[in-house]
Amino acid sequence: MRVMDEQSLSDNIANLLQRVRRSAGKSQYHNGDILVIAASKGHLAADIRTAHACGIMHFGESYLQEAIKKMAALEDLHLGWHFIGPIQSNKTAPIAQNFDWVHSIDRIKIARRLSEQRPQHLLPLQVCLQINISKEASKSGTTIDALPELATTVVELPNLQLRGLMAVPAANISADEQRDAFSEMREALAQLKGLYSSVDTLSMGMSADVENAILEGATAVRVGTAIFGPRNR
């Protein structure tokens, strides 16, 4: 793997931030800031350091060992670390110990373990519940139907703070269908917000669909390829 040249990384970030700003300006649902999370899985710590120098403060990782190595190499920067990948129950302890946010909680067992294993000296883990919005058999995420029960459990867990919902719509559907999926997520978030005052985050939108996600009310986007180029995995 080669370190990216700083100019292209900086150009990519400037382009992305412009896409984000433009879509936010057009969205009837936009209010407040949009959190840009650079999905840095499969990319080097050196590239994260450059992205930070270009103003990106939050990074998303999906593979635990890879993430922990990069965290150690970047300890001098104060970055926000987001776990965005599928969670196996034997991996919850290091996730609870090392991350600030988890976007991919999709079952009660995982939520309970993360809360039990969150060290007391850290702030509560900030969490989003992942919805399998396109109902793909192979994807993680709970259903909208099962969401109330999961949310009720999560808000009672002492070391988690429920912040919102996350989704990755199917890649093989049309842009209109993706937009419908994002719209369904916005409605689900509005219901959750009505119940729990800590809820403020709708985590959706990746390199290819940032615009539609923001038009439908995303408050956090997770962008890899558009920032760092293709991944090595």
Point out which residues bind ligand PLP (CB under 6 A): 39, 41, 62, 84-85, 168, 206-208, 222-226
CB of 208 to ligand PLP, least distance (A): 6
Cβ-proximal residue to ligand PLP, closest one: 224
CB nearer ligand PLP, residue 66 or residue 155: 66
CB of 197 to ligand PLP, least distance (A): 26
- DSSP annotation string for the chain: --PPPHHHHHHHHHHHHHHHHHHHHH-TT--S--EEEEE-TTS-HHHHHHHHHTT--EEEE--HHHHHHHHHHTTTS--EEEE-S---GGGHHHHHHH-SEEEEE-SHHHHHHHHHHS-TTSPPEEEEEEE-TT--TTS--B-TTTHHHHHHHHHH-TTEEEEEEEE---TTS-HHHHHHHHHHHHHHHHHHHHH-TT--EEE---TTTHHHHHHTT-SEEEESHHHH-S---
- Cα–Cα distance measured from residue 2 to residue 85, given in angstroms and rounded to the nearest whole number: 24
CB of 5 to ligand PLP, least distance (A): 19
CB nearer ligand PLP, residue 41 or residue 58: 41
CB nearer ligand PLP, residue 160 or residue 168: 168
CB of 225 to ligand PLP, least distance (A): 4
CB nearer ligand PLP, residue 29 or residue 63: 63
Kindly state the tokens that stand for 212. 């539609």
CB of 121 to ligand PLP, least distance (A): 28
CB nearer ligand PLP, residue 62 or residue 132: 62
Q: Find out whether 55 and 77 touch, Cβ atoms under 8 Å.
A: no
CA geometry: angle at 214 spanning 160 and 111, to 5°? 15
CB of 194 to ligand PLP, least distance (A): 26
CB nearer ligand PLP, residue 40 or residue 115: 40
CB nearer ligand PLP, residue 209 or residue 215: 209
Q: Find out whether 153 and 228 touch, Cβ atoms under 8 Å.
A: no
CB of 42 to ligand PLP, least distance (A): 8
